[in-house]
A and B are shown apart, each in its own frame.
Chain A
Amino acid sequence: MSARGVVLAGVGGQGVVLASAVLAEAALRSDFEVKQSEVHGMAQRGGAVVSHIRYGETVASPVVPLASADVLAAFEWAEALRWMPYLAPRGALVVDARRIVPPGACKDHRTWGVPYPAMDTATVAHRVADVLLIDASGIAASLGNPKTANSVVMGAVSRFLDIDDVAWEKAITRFVPPGTEELNIAAFHAGQEAGSVRPEAIPDLGLDPIQQRSYRIEVDHSWCKDCGICPTVCPEFCLAMDHAHRLVVVDEAACIGCRLCEALCPDFAIRISVGDPAVVSGGAP
């Protein structure tokens, strides 16, 4: 048989590296040749993390070639989409039906939209043989420890691989934190039984674009004593002190109308007024 390939994907801190160590060890215990490849460093926290595992009679490349993975397992929806090109058309996508919205996606102060992709399996179902969207986090929580969600996912992954339960259980026992072995094995078996949840059962975040407004910043310089409080609080850096330590409005267009400057001005020298609501064309990018 040619080497099997599994791609594990998630967000830094989710345990991708640990899960891939479990799979690599389980394959090794099944007397396969194993190679595993990961990249860490800059992606230590909050960044996208991916690990490749290949096993078989012989394995050359430690990296899974594109469109050849037997399984893509993602611990989060957006990461499943990111690594789809690695999954073979005959392969299986296993994904935990959870969303981790990156803070960097919360920055569009024009439309207030979040470009997080809708959790809709139809966007991927036509590309691969199997799609298993499971509520791993919910199952793990119901078992008593939400941190065992990865073991639930790996249980679901095991349905598509030729590694027996004994090897999996020994590998899990070796790598999970002491005292959580039984819980993780139970989570693994729950993953083997887990049914696909319908995407409509997972409510979307509702972070659709909302109506844009514009604002005017009016400073009454006859009342302003250039104390410097408002530039310190303005979240959008609309206000600044110039070289002569005078208050200046440097970026009125960036104003989001929070009125902190107005509220905190000791001299009632700032007034924020709402402009006409503007029509936003299109949705979140």
Chain B
Amino acid sequence: MTTLSIRADRALLSGNEAIARGAWEAGVHVAAAYPGTPSTETLQALARYDEVDSRWATNEKVAVDVALGASLGGARAFAAMKHVGLNVAADTFMTASYVGVGGGLVIMVADDPGMHSSQNEQDTRLYARLGLVPLLEPSDSAEAKDHTKLAFDVSEEFDTPVLLRSTTRISHNRGIVPLEERREVPVRGFRRDPAKYVMLPAYARGRHPVILERLERLAEYAGELAVEEGTDTRVGIVTAGVPYQYVKEVAPDLRILKLGMSYPIPIERIRRFAETVDRLVVVEELEPFLEEALLAAGLEADGKAFFPRTGELSPDLVRDGLAALGVADPRPPIPDAPTTVTRPPLMCPGCPHMVPYWSIKRLGATVTGDIGCYTLAALEPLATMDTCISMGASIGMASGMAASGGSDEPVVATIGDSTFLHGGVPALMEAVYNDADMTVVILDNGTTAMTGGQEHPGTGTTLAGEKARAVDIPALCTAVGVEDLHVVDPYDVSATLRAIEQAMAYRGTSVVITHRPCVEAPLRVKDRPFEVIPDNCTACQLCMNLGCPAIVWTDEVFEGRRKVTIDAAMCTGCTLCAQLCPPRAIVPVEVHP
């Protein structure tokens, strides 16, 4: 969505756009990221500013490596990722804490409480504690911009990387943001300092106490950042991030201590706040991060007894908790939604992932899956995925599954092109190296489709839209030692079925690359649609097995079964259902002159 600007000095921005704007205003020079919902749009927004070298990295670790390198070069540097991306980047992140920075280094991490689009709902604040790194937590778009700018200053003043924690309800919410000018910050230049930048054990031992001393100063600073408001002292709320807005919604007069920096936790500041209220309560999403720290510091505090530890908070859940505490009215009884039909997400009409999974289902296999649109193949009618854990895990898990001997059927790993380059390549090397008897199906649609069609090192285009050298995936597979390699067009049903069948029969590690661009990106594919000739349809349901959302039942019945129809507006003209249809009832729509 494009930036909304009404007056030159303010705009309605999403949290991600606001963070990008903040980084730009702070004079950031280099920014790197791997796409991941809900963080993706941040780098895309930043890429619109010419002053910033914004780039997609192969994965989150590489993004943090690039940002740390730029920082040590003396530039202001930024990296963005979703929460699980920090797991990938954790190796560099943990030691970057010891190293400190040259130019300001800010790592934005977007959590996904409620798992709208994620495989877990880990709480990034725990990484701040693990890495002994400060963490800022904005509560709306305006703060997202301000906190981003502040994060660069904190990073340089305290010589530390800074985590900026967003959540889905920050990243994907829009709010009014005052706009300011960019402050140009000169690149400081690289200053050679092996004792600080080369983490040999002898040098690293010297850094650890420095980090702990830094943390004490940061805790004091976090106390200064905290904001107190409200007059009703029956309960004092300690909160940060979007839960602050929910508390304000439900009980606007309550005493609140809103933390801007929620790690290190400003315990002494909170202790003084506690003395002004009858009872201390923490409102925080996910883990009892603040609550446990307060209890450990000997403060009497409540939290998770009143607010859930799983999923997102909401104004309604916060109301429930505050009502139980006696400081808000309970919500009135609300009738349930009338019975309606479930509507899970689907693959797109014409999706090139449909036939590879349809083929695997036909042939029968144990399928380790991966992260991407194709994870939807776990749902009916394809229902052809047995595991999905983390980026790139499919290949290593297939190798282990094959080694276990526990699968009666052939073992197949399925992985997209962007995910393969992100984390699948080392695992493919492991499989070939150890001669795993398995097949890898690389679903190459030439984009990072799940997050909205971002470029990656295999697409031949950079984030800035410039032409780049593209990874040759078949050549890469050959280079790591794959001998049984098939490249097929997944719009050719029989060729795809045959290639996967042959690869599964091969003894050793075989690879099938199904190569066909995504129907949504970079171009929206719309060819002449197909229609069903009702008189020819025998209602056999074979086309329904594809899981194409353009095909649904009609009220016409043949021998007790429902016939199908194709929504011409949705149909992309991919021909897949027509290829499958035994009575040839599916034909291109007549073009009328």
Contacts and interface: CB of A to CB of B under 8 A. Distances in A.
Indicate whether A and B interact: yes
Interface string A65-79: 111000000000011
Contacts of A12: 345
B55 interface: no
Nearest to B338: A81
Interface stretch (B172-180, B199-207, B433-441, B465-473): B172-180
B1 A235 contact: no
A104 B345 contact: no
A45 B347 CA distance: 7
B549 A45 contact: yes
Given A107-B380, A233-B542, A258-B561, A28 B342 contact: no
Contact of A213 (B12, B117, B339, B560): B560
B12 A25 contact: yes
Given A65-B315, A84-B338, 8 more contacts: A12-B345, A39-B117, A43-B116, A60-B245, A60-B252, A78-B343, A103-B549, A231-B362
Contact of A35 (B140, B551, B552): B140
Contact of A102 (B334, B339, B342, B348): B342
A83 interface: yes
B348 A45 contact: yes
A63 B373 CA distance: 27
Contact of B562 (A24, A65, A112, A123): A112
A11 B343 contact: yes
Interface string A44-71: 1111100000000000111101110000
Contacts of A35: 140, 173-175
B316 interface: yes
Given A65-B319, A67-B332, A25 B6 contact: yes
10 contacts: A39-B116, A39-B172, A44-B452, A61-B246, A62-B175, A65-B249, A78-B341, A117-B340, A207-B555, A235-B541
Contacts of A115: 341
Which 10 pairs of residues, A with B, have the shortest CB-CB distance? A41-B117, A47-B345, A41-B37, A258-B540, A46-B346, A206-B555, A60-B248, A61-B249, A81-B340, A65-B315
Contacts of B131: none
Nearest to B551: A103
Contacts of B520: 44-45
Contacts of A45: 345-348, 520, 549
Contacts of A117: 338-341
Interface of A: 11-12, 17, 21, 24-25, 28-29, 33-48, 60-63, 65-67, 78-79, 81-85, 101-107, 109, 112, 114-117, 123-124, 127, 146, 174, 205-207, 210-213, 231-233, 235-237, 240, 256-260, 263-264
A262 to B, nearest CB: 11
A33 B452 CA distance: 29
Contact of B345 (A17, A21, A37, A46): A46
Contact of A46 (B37, B343, B497, B541): B343
B1 A21 contact: yes
Given A39-B172, A107-B380, A66 B560 contact: no
Interface in B303-334: 314-316, 319, 331-332, 334
B252 to A, nearest CB: 7
Given A46-B549, A60-B248, A85-B335, A264 B340 contact: no
Interface in B544-581: 544-545, 547-549, 551-553, 555, 557, 559-562, 564, 569
B40 to A, nearest CB: 9
B4 interface: yes
A210 B557 contact: yes
A42 B345 contact: yes
A29 B6 CA distance: 7
Interface string B158-199: 000000000011001111100000000000000000000000
B346 A103 contact: yes
A159 to B, nearest CB: 24
B236 interface: no
Contacts of A41: 37-38, 116-117, 450-451
Q: What secondary structure prevails in chain A residues at the interface with B?
A: loop
B562 A67 contact: no
Interface string B516-552: 0000100000000000000000111110110111011
Nearest to B242: A62
B588 interface: no
Given A35-B175, A233-B542, A240 B12 contact: no
Interface of B: 1, 4, 6, 12, 37-38, 116-117, 140, 168-169, 172-176, 242, 245-246, 248-250, 252, 314-316, 319, 331-332, 334-348, 361-362, 364, 373, 379-381, 450-452, 497, 520, 538-542, 544-545, 547-549, 551-553, 555, 557, 559-562, 564, 569, 582
Given A61-B315, A256-B541, A42 B1 contact: no
Contact of B331 (A24, A67, A103): A67
A12 B316 CA distance: 26
A66, A104, A146, A237: residue with the most chain B Cβ atoms closer than 10 Å: A104
Contacts of B249: 60-61, 65
A38, A61, A107, A237: residue with the most chain B Cβ atoms closer than 10 Å: A61
Given A66-B331, A67-B332, A264-B582, A28 B542 contact: no
A65 B316 contact: yes
Contact of A61 (B245, B334, B569): B245
Contact of A85 (B337, B559, B569): B337
Contacts of B348: 45-46
Contacts of B344: 47, 102, 104
A34 B450 CA distance: 29
B141 to A, nearest CB: 8
A21 B339 CA distance: 29
Contacts of B569: 146
A109 B347 CA distance: 22
Contact of A235 (B174, B314, B339, B540): B540
A260 B542 contact: yes
B62 to A, nearest CB: 23
A221 B338 CA distance: 52
Given A41-B37, A47-B346, A112 B561 contact: yes
Nearest to B337: A84
A67 B314 CA distance: 13
B245 A62 contact: yes
A257 to B, nearest CB: 6
A225 B121 CA distance: 53
Given A21-B4, A78-B341, A63 B553 contact: no
B473 to A, nearest CB: 24
B562 A106 contact: yes
A29 B557 CA distance: 53
A44 B333 CA distance: 33
A5 to B, nearest CB: 10
Contacts of A174: 4
A82 B342 CA distance: 9
A220 B362 CA distance: 23
Contact of B559 (A11, A33, A233, A257): A257
